[in-house]
Amino acid sequence: MTRKILLIAIILTSFLNNNHMSLAQPEIPDIWYFSHNNQAFIIERADGEFTRILATHKKAKNGDYAVAGWSSSGRWFAWSTEPSSDLPEIPVATVVSRDGNKLITLVDATLGKPLTHLQWSPADDFLLVSQRFYPNYISDINDASPEEVHRRNFVYDPDSEQIIVEFPSRLEHGTWLDDGQHILFEESTIDSAKNWQLFEINADVGTPKLQIKREAECLSRNQQVFVVDSFLIHNTCGKSMEVINPSTMETMLFEAPGTSICHVDWNESQDNGILYFAQSRDILAAYFLSLETKRFEFIAEVSASANVRARNVGPLSASKSNWSPDNAAVAILNDSSTITLLFPNDGHTQQVELADIDDTMELQFYTWHPYGNRLLMSGTTSHGEKSAIYEYNIETNEFSLITEKEQEYAPYYHLSFSADTNYFAYTNLDHVVILNESYQQLETLGVVQGYNWFNTDWDGESAPPFVFLGVSWHESQNWFFMETAWDYGLNRHVNVANTTGNSQRELQEIYLPKDSYGWLPPLSEK
């Protein structure tokens, strides 16, 4: 009897321990990517387990492909190929179901060779297909005359395998609005002017809901129309700016600089944002716009080159916006060492001067701390002999040093936090450094395993021929992608790893087009 009780106790203890361990182990996310070895799109767990082929795709040496990615529900995946001398087949657009069981090819060979742009609706599993066709006997579309180029634009529903709406052939470069009901197109004109037409997919497509015409006297002003959330923003020919709500057709008019809008940093949760107007080649004028209060006011003149260089933008950035996580403030980069913080609720501003620490230090990258009350900034001296990372406390207006070193051309890049805020990462040459929330170093991960940058012809004095493209964290798990490029961006390496570094592995070792890998999105209801 005693032996039976002891045996039951051992079994129960073992069960509880195993259960505890399984509960304690974090879930490993799934990834997708294009495998050059398999010539296929792959789905697998981030640690390399449970690999399966989503769809095969023959990659041409001189050809390319563009990935539209996953539909809003995560049920469909789409990509398109481009013409190539290595692949005589007609390029196609392809849609495949998440389980790989249903594969749909969209092609019309009678119109010639297509260049295709695909974009999923942000609200439904509808795919916008925009194509330009040119004759098979012409090797490059740029060699085709306007009469030889044919356009086609339509919205495709993969569930019903039907084209639900087709638009006039004179249109191109379609963009969905966030409501999923409207699409903005550019219209080709004989005089090369750029006009825009807005269509509602559930209405008569013979007549656009809205037309925005670019007048002849404004051709030199680079007039643009920006889609922000479900609004359209554009500068008119005169000194004014229109904000249009396509659902209600309400229009708000603001007095604005008579120059082009070159960038919009929009805060979707608050319906406000920063608009940058071109003052000259080197200077931008930053304005704050609130649609709720109809407030539009000048904030500062800023350096165009510094804003391009120092923002954490791009597919692998920690944040594509300069707004704080709590939306209480926005960072506006004035020049190579100064940031203006704007607090929209009361309108006050605060200057952040990296020169207060070292007047030779120039800002490289910056990002918000997840709590919203601090900025992380990396800088390097003008001659590149010293680099450092600082944390700036907005409430105390004080800087604190996180790390620094003296080594030429080795600046710190791509500052980012994990989703749970427990980890901070930065990149430096060919490695990623992981720190805890107290900025104590935990791991150093090399991006390209077994590859020595310094076996190249780099002289060690000029800027190196490789660049770190960034770190992309999973939205809920402590896993991340690392991507770097060498040969001046022609070749890339992609690694996926966790914060302990015990599951780091390489996905690619040759050229990658943009958006050819990512986290597998969760399934959602249509």
Query: Which one has a higher pLDDT value, 160 or 454?
Result: 160
**Residues near 217 by beta carbon (within 8 Å), at least 6 away in sequence:** 237
Rounded mean pLDDT of 157-186?
Answer: 91
**Residues near 346 by beta carbon (within 8 Å), at least 6 away in sequence:** none
**Residues near 487 by beta carbon (within 8 Å), at least 6 away in sequence:** 465, 466
- How far is C-alpha 121 from the geometric centre of its chain's CA atoms? 17
Helix (H, G, I), strand (E, B) or coil at 357: coil
Q: By mean pLDDT, which of 101-110, 196-205, 419-428, 453-462 is the weakest?
A: 453-462
Answer whether 354's CB lies under 8 Å from 338's CB: yes
- How far is C-alpha 180 from the geometric centre of its chain's CA atoms? 20
Q: Which of 507, 511, 456, 504 is nearest to 485 (CA)?
A: 511
Residue 316 has pLDDT above 90, yes or no: no
The size of the chain, in residues, is: 526
**Sheet holding 127-134: strands in order across?**
113-120, 127-134, 150-157, 162-167
**Residues near 440 by beta carbon (within 8 Å), at least 6 away in sequence:** none
Share of the chain above pLDDT 70, in %: 75
The pLDDT of residue 369 is 93
The pLDDT of residue 189 is 63
Residue 221 has pLDDT above 80, yes or no: no
Helix, strand, coil percent values for the chain (each to nearest 5): 10, 45, 45
At 16, the pLDDT band (50, 70, 90 cuts) reads very low
**Residues near 280 by beta carbon (within 8 Å), at least 6 away in sequence:** none
Q: Which of 424, 472, 494, 421 is nearest to 317 (CA)?
A: 472
Strands 225-228 and 423-428 turn out to be: unpaired
Please list, residue by residue across 219-254, b when 16 or more beta carbons sit within 10 angstroms of its beta carbon and e when fewer do: eebebbbbbbbbbbbbbbeeeebbbbebeeeeeeeb
First to last CA, the chain: 58
pLDDT digits (tens, 9 = 90+) for 435-468: 999 999 998 887 654 344 434 444 545 445 556 6
At 306, the pLDDT band (50, 70, 90 cuts) reads low
The pLDDT of residue 14 is 47
The pLDDT of residue 455 is 41
Q: Which of 368, 405, 400, 366 is nearest to 388 (CA)?
A: 405
At 87, the pLDDT band (50, 70, 90 cuts) reads low
The pLDDT of residue 83 is 63
124-133, 310-319, 445-454: which has the highest mean pLDDT?
Answer: 124-133
